[in-house]
Copies of this chain bind each other. A is one copy, B any other.
């Protein structure tokens, strides 16, 4: 399976999970190809709206370019949504991270599996009313 189809299947898996938990979720057509910022997923209910960039990796680290993070911030700011990163490592569930959770280098942002297990939220925690 190609990287791209693995990514799309991963996003579809999250779409199913959000709907099953009672939130509406839409996958973007334009992710990566649109000239406008476009998060992979928009998720919402009457009280919260989330813009989510999703990544799957077999490695223990996943990198996000500055441009990806800036686009997520821009979309979220204009649309009125919380910006979130969803990342899934080998044999882990999806972890949800804020932009502040990510580690920083000069050229990119980094999520690693140990940081994600420490700071990340599981989907149930993400959408809990207590968050």
A42 and B26 in contact (CB under 8 A), knowing A15-B36, A36-B15, A80-B47? yes
Q: How far is the CA of A42 from the CA of B28 in the complex (A)?
A: 10
Using a CB-CB cutoff of 8 Å, which residues 43-82 of chain A contact chain B?
44-47, 49, 75, 78-81
Chain B residues with CB under 8 Å of A29's CB are 26-29, 31
Q: State whether B78 touches A22 (Cβ < 8 A).
A: yes
Q: How far is the CA of A26 from the CA of B26 in the complex (A)?
A: 9
A79 and B24 in contact (CB under 8 A), knowing A44-B49, A49-B49? yes
Give the top 9 A-B pairs by smallest Cβ distance, nearest first.
A24-B79, A46-B80, A24-B78, A27-B29, A44-B79, A29-B29, A26-B28, A19-B36, A24-B75
Q: How far is the CA of A78 from the CA of B47 in the complex (A)?
A: 10
Q: What is the oligomeric copy number?
A: 2
Q: How far is the CA of A81 from the CA of B44 in the complex (A)?
A: 9
Please encode chain A, from 5 to 45, with 1 for each CB lying within 8 Å of some chain B CB and 0 for all others. 00000000001000100111111111100101111001011
Chain B proximity of A82: nearest CB distance (Å)? 12
Chain B residues with CB under 8 Å of A23's CB are 78-79
Q: How far is the CA of A53 from the CA of B56 in the complex (A)?
A: 31
Q: How far is the CA of A39 from the CA of B29 in the complex (A)?
A: 12
Q: How far is the CA of A38 from the CA of B27 in the complex (A)?
A: 9
